[in-house]
Amino acid sequence: MSILVTGGAGYIGRHTAKLLHASGLVPVVLDNLTTGRREETGWGPFVEGDISDVALVRRLIREHNITAVVHLAASAHVGDSMVRPDAYYRNNVCGTAALLEAMAAENVKQLVFASSCSVYGNSASTAAHEDEPVIPMSSYGESKLVTERALPWYQLAFGLRWVALRYFNVAGAEGSMGEELAGCRRIVPRTVHAAVGGGAALGVFGTDFDTPDGSAVRDYVHVSDVAQANLRALHYVAQGQPPAVMNIAAGVGTSVLQIIDEVGRQAGQPVPHHLEAARGGDPGCAIADISRARKELCWAPVASGLENIVSTVLHSGKLRAGVLV
């Protein structure tokens, strides 16, 4: 069975494609390589191209007998989206509409959509639940919410079966498939880079949030747990289960300063860092209620403890003797 994985050369996509291959499925990766890495896509056929190319996507569906899509391709940084909303609407909204057009034309009715915790904005609850009001604080979050709201209409018109997974803060590595530390925007690789990779001191954005230590609190979920959620969501839609939105997270909050402390402890040296003002679009706290995914997908995070996340990044092969490779 062949599964189209859009953005499959990216961070989450590589881990997902590897797991699909190990599970007996054939991941067909479509990626425009804006941020993806071609050299780590050896788990199935790879095609360089864009989801907005309807003719290309239709041809891939026919040639590889695609039965379902895991849609991971997106522009995905909150801060960047605040200064480039045009790019986020073009890539995330218009690109997804083109993908859905191709799927409908080729009668592909199964979709796992990578959404984001950014749809919640500054949630008032201690653990965000899928049924609570969503008020995005960034164009990135809004772009994901627009697609979530579109999916029921595609269900009504074309019989689409779908699951939208609201990923919280994905982190960690599996073997050598971590993120490049230099230039990475995610907090754990940036902290490791600052500690032992020769990178610049880490900027801590916001120190007066309403959190225990004043720094931003997020819910960090290991990338291997996210890949497993994607696989289980594929089985869910294949079984004809009701369309649903589900949080994918650890269900535990961790602050930026806690990450700095843990990286410093494991690295054996303090992490150079400096304090800066909070960025626009960043809520103070984002933690998930993951009870729905536990129940509906029979899924649970097994690798998402902070100690393990930091350890897998430190030993991902991107560092040797403290030097970036």
Same fold, 2-170+220-248 and 171-218+251-324: no
The C-alpha atoms of residue 222 and residue 254 are separated, in whole angstroms, by: 13
Q: At what angle do helices 139-158 and 95-105 cross, to 10 degrees?
A: 20
Domain ranges of the chain: 2-170+220-248, 171-218+251-324
Q: How does pLDDT run across 166-219, given as a tens digit for each residue?
A: 999 999 999 888 777 777 888 999 999 999 888 889 999 998 998 999 999 999
Average pLDDT over residues 228-251: 98
In the structure, what pLDDT confidence band is assigned to residue 60 with cuts at 50, 70 and 90? Answer: very high
Higher pLDDT, 38 or 265: 265
pLDDT-derived band of residue 323, with 50, 70 and 90 as boundaries? very low
What are the residue numbers of the active site? 140
Among 11-20, 70-79, 118-127, 173-182, which stretch is predicted with the lowest mean pLDDT?
A: 173-182
* Per-residue tokens: 136: 């995005």
Three-state secondary-structure class, residue 164: strand
Mean pLDDT for all residues in the chain: 93
Rounded to whole angstroms, the Cα distance separating 65 from 10 reads 23
Instruction: Take residue 80 and report the two structure tokens written for it.
Output: 């960047």
| pLDDT at residue number 7 | 97
Give mean pLDDT, residues 266-282. Answer: 88
Residue 325 has pLDDT above 80, yes or no: no
- Cβ contacts of 25 within 8 Å, gap of 6 or more: 1, 2, 3, 234
Percentage of the chain beyond pLDDT 90 is 79
For residue 242, the tally of other CB atoms under 10 A from its CB is 11
Q: In whole angstroms, what is the distance from residue 316 CA to residue 324 CA?
A: 11
pLDDT for 62 equals 98
Confidence of residue 321 (pLDDT cuts 50, 70, 90): very low
SS (H, E, C) 34-80: CCCCHHHCCCCCEEECCCCCHHHHHHHHHHCCEEEEEECCCCCCHHH
> 171-218+251-324: CATH homologous superfamily?
UDP-galactose 4-epimerase, domain 1 (3.90.25.10)
Residue 89 pLDDT greater than 70, yes or no: yes
Average pLDDT of span 287-308: 97
Contact 186, 309 (CB under 8 A): no
CATH number corresponding to 2-170+220-248 = 3.40.50.720
Q: What angle do CA 74, 78, 261 make, to 5 degrees?
A: 115
Angle, helices 306-314/256-267, rounded to nearest 10 degrees:
50
